[in-house]
């Protein structure tokens, strides 16, 4: 196993591949970005040994699917079953690109896919998307730990917000009201982003794909927040704690969308660098999500008896 000097502020990536040439290629591509430090492993068992020996150190796992001894799917299943590893985003590189094979990976906890042969720009785009998720979660968790109070005393709370920054701040507060704050945080944050981005600002999936590709996503967000047509729109959030469960209702003022397409990760979109937020919230954070027919209101429910047993998936 090869280990470079790792900076604590950088995104730390564990690249796993039994082909030395492929590993060198991955390292050379990722080395183009100063924000990444790369550790390598030559098989699944070695990768897990490193993860267990360096708990909390690795931010992203870049994993080959087909390997001797222990393949990528088996590694993902082990990670998903372990509380200390299940939150690490896994990017799977594979030549197995049939929908059924991608679905198998998704069930094992893979939210990001790269198909071989790897295109450098595609690799960097997908890793950047996963890194953004890691940085956001790292920041939100840091803020959440700083907000200590008797959260369990709150029975009902109503809030509104307009911007993504306001939504992130509110997510760190509300996550503390749930039985497992770390588990709830990702889902709340993703639903809040969706309510602003796809709801109030009317940026649909196809438009976001184009904006991300052209590196104009943040510019468009800022432009629409300043537009008189959109800037008065707000998201209304109601948290309620009942005997059986915690409920979080999120309502935006947008036109709604076809939410049924996004409750699960669609294999046809598995190689895209966005579009996993609702699926992650559904699979990771809540016992269930309930949308209204229009799609501009969603209620996330965490039942008290099931929250600790909720099946968890790896972040994207």
> Residue 89: which CATH number?
3.40.50.2300
CA distance 194 to 11: 25
CA distances from 170 to 147, 195, 224, 230 (A): 11, 13, 21, 20
CA distance 89 to 105: 13
Predicted confidence at residue 134, as pLDDT, reads 86
- For residues 40 and 151, membership in a common domain is answered with no
CB proximity list for 117: less than 8 A, separation 6 or greater: none
Predicted confidence at residue 96, as pLDDT, reads 62
Answer yes or no: is 97 within a domain: yes
Predicted confidence at residue 150, as pLDDT, reads 61
Is the backbone of residue 200 left (phi > 0), alpha (psi -120 to 50) or beta?
Answer: alpha
Answer yes or no: is 76 within a domain: yes
- Tell me, what CATH number does 180's domain have? 3.30.565.10
- For residues 154 and 126, membership in a common domain is answered with no
Could you tell me if 2 and 39 are in contact, meaning their C-beta atoms sit under 8 angstroms apart? Answer: yes
- For residues 160 and 284, membership in a common domain is answered with yes
Answer yes or no: is 226 within a domain: yes
Q: Which domain holds residue 266?
A: 147-309
- How many H-runs (helices) and E-runs (strands) does the chain carry? 10, 10
Could you tell me if 91 and 62 are in contact, meaning their C-beta atoms sit under 8 angstroms apart? Answer: yes
- For residues 290 and 156, membership in a common domain is answered with yes
pLDDT < 50 stretches in the chain: 2-7, 306-316
- For residues 91 and 169, membership in a common domain is answered with no
Predicted confidence at residue 99, as pLDDT, reads 66
Select from 135, 168, 203 the last residue of a domain: 135
Answer yes or no: is 209 within a domain: yes
Rg of the chain (C-alpha set): 20
Answer yes or no: is 252 within a domain: yes
- For residues 122 and 154, membership in a common domain is answered with no
> What is the count of structural domains for the chain?
2
Predicted confidence at residue 315, as pLDDT, reads 33
- For residues 79 and 220, membership in a common domain is answered with no
CA distance 125 to 76: 22
- For residues 204 and 230, membership in a common domain is answered with yes
- For residues 165 and 125, membership in a common domain is answered with no
Q: Which stretches within the chain are classed as H helix? A: 20-30, 44-53, 72-80, 99-108, 120-145, 164-174, 181-194, 205-213, 217-226, 277-280
Dihedral sign for Cα atoms in the order 80, 85, 89, 94:
negative
Predicted confidence at residue 273, as pLDDT, reads 67
Q: Please give the model's pTM, rounded to 2 decimal places.
A: 0.68
Predicted confidence at residue 191, as pLDDT, reads 95
Is the backbone of residue 129 left (phi > 0), alpha (psi -120 to 50) or beta?
Answer: alpha
CA distance 282 to 300: 8
Could you tell me if 184 and 301 are in contact, meaning their C-beta atoms sit under 8 angstroms apart? Answer: no
């Amino acid at each position: 196993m090869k280990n470079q000097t790792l900076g604590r502020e950088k995104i730390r990536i564990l690249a796993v591949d039994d082909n030395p040439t492929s590993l060198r290629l991955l390292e050379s591509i990722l080395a183009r970005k100063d924000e990444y430090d790369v550790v390598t492993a030559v098989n699944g068992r070695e990768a897990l040994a490193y993860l267990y020996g360096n708990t909390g150190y690795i931010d992203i796992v870049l994993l080959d699917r087909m390997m001797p001894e222990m393949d990528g799917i088996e590694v993902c299943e082990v990670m998903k079953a372990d509380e200390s590893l299940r939150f690490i985003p896994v990017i799977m590189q594979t030549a197995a690109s049939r929908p059924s094979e991608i679905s198998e990976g998704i069930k094992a906890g893979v939210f990001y896919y790269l198909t071989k042969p790897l295109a450098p720009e595609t690799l960097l785009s997908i890793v950047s998307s996963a890194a953004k998720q890691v940085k956001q979660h790292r920041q939100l968790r840091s803020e959440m730990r700083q907000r200590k109070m008797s959260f369990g005393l709150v029975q009902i709370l109503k809030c509104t917000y307009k911007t993504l920054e306001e939504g992130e701040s509110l997510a760190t507060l509300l996550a503390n009201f749930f039985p497992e704050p770390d588990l709830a945080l990702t889902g709340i944050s993703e639903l809040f982003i969706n309510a602003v981005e796809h709801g109030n600002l009317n940026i649909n999936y196809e438009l976001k794909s184009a904006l991300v590709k052209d590196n104009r996503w943040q510019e468009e967000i800022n432009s629409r927040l300043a537009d008189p047509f959109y800037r008065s729109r707000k998201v209304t959030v109601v948290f309620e704690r009942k005997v059986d469960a915690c409920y979080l209702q999120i309502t935006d003022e947008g036109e709604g969308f076809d939410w049924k397409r996004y409750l699960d990760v669609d294999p046809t979109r598995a190689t895209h660098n966005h579009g996993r937020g609702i699926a992650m919230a559904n699979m990771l954070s809540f016992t269930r999500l309930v949308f209204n027919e229009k799609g501009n209101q969603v209620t996330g429910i965490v039942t008290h008896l099931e929250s600790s047993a909720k099946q968890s998936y790896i972040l994207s």
